[in-house]
Amino acid sequence: MSFRALGRELGADPTAVYRHFRDRNELVEACLDRLLGQIAGSISTELPWRERLRATADTYFEVIVAHPVIGAEAGHRTTGGPGELAMLELLLVSLADAGLSRERVVRYYSLLAGYAASVAAAAAAYRLQDDRIQLPADRIWVGTQGLMDPVRYPTAFGLRDELAALRTDEVFLSGFELLLDTVETTAVRE
């Protein structure tokens, strides 16, 4: 994305955007906040807490990776807008519904949101990279060429097939599932 490409696509002067947004930063944050609002709005509030959180993470990853220019910046941005707040409220309510204490709600919120936001953003940024990268975009970020050295890296060598089979979306989702396991275990203990 560049302002010149944007102007070309919209049939307007590249600098016309400055009539509507102060700078690139504000534009990106407005787009991101809209995406967040769409995600939060698409999650049924009728779902049990665990399914609700899983659906949120699932949709979040899909949307972020489908909009890689915005998504790549989602991990380190605060929009402060209604979309972000709707997401925040959705996550907090779900964790409270799980039966967690006030303190635990905030702690697990920060873990789940930090995990999902950062890992999804990394997946989007990975996908954004030029084609010069050797691996397909859905493969995990570990280099495979060095895994052929059984002397220096015996354990990595022994697990090379399993490592090569890792895929970003599966890692994201199964990782989130593990976090939800922890939430559930803590909730039933309290």
Partner DNA sequence: ACCTGAACACCGTTCAAGT
By CB under 7 A, name the binding residues for DNA: 1-5, 7, 12-16, 18-20, 23-25
Q: What does 55 interact with, of a copy of itself, DNA, none (CB < 5 to 8 A by kind)?
A: none
CB count, 10 Å around CB of 53? 25
Q: What does 45 interact with, of DNA, a copy of itself, none (CB < 5 to 8 A by kind)?
A: none
Q: Are 61 and 123 in contact (CB under 8 A)?
A: yes
80 Cβ neighbours under 8 A, 6+ residues apart: 29
Q: Which is nearer to a copy of itself, 70 or 86 (CB)?
A: 86
Distance of closest approach, residue 125 Cβ to DNA, in angstroms = 16
173 Cβ neighbours under 8 A, 6+ residues apart: 57, 58, 61
Q: What does 66 interact with, of a copy of itself, DNA, none (CB < 5 to 8 A by kind)?
A: none
Q: Which is nearer to DNA, 73 or 187 (CB)?
A: 73
Using the rule CB under 8 A, is 182 a contact of a copy of itself? yes
CA pair distance 30, 79, nearest whole angstrom: 7
- Within residues 29-68, the interface with a copy of itself by CB under 8 A covers none
- Within residues 143-172, the interface with a copy of itself by CB under 8 A covers 143-147, 149, 152-156, 159, 162-163, 166, 171-172
Distance of closest approach, residue 15 Cβ to DNA, in angstroms = 4
Closest CA to 78 of 135, 133, 36: 36
CA 140 to chain centre: 15
> By CB under 8 A, how many residues form the interface with a copy of itself?
68
Choice from 84, 100, 180, 187 touching a copy of itself (CB under 8 A): 84
Q: Which is nearer to a copy of itself, 66 or 111 (CB)?
A: 111
The residues that touch a copy of itself, with contacts defined as CB under 8 A, are: 25, 72, 75-82, 84-86, 88-89, 92-93, 96, 102-103, 105-107, 109-111, 113-115, 117-119, 121-123, 125-126, 129-130, 132-133, 135, 140-147, 149, 152-156, 159, 162-163, 166, 171-172, 174-175, 178-179, 181-182
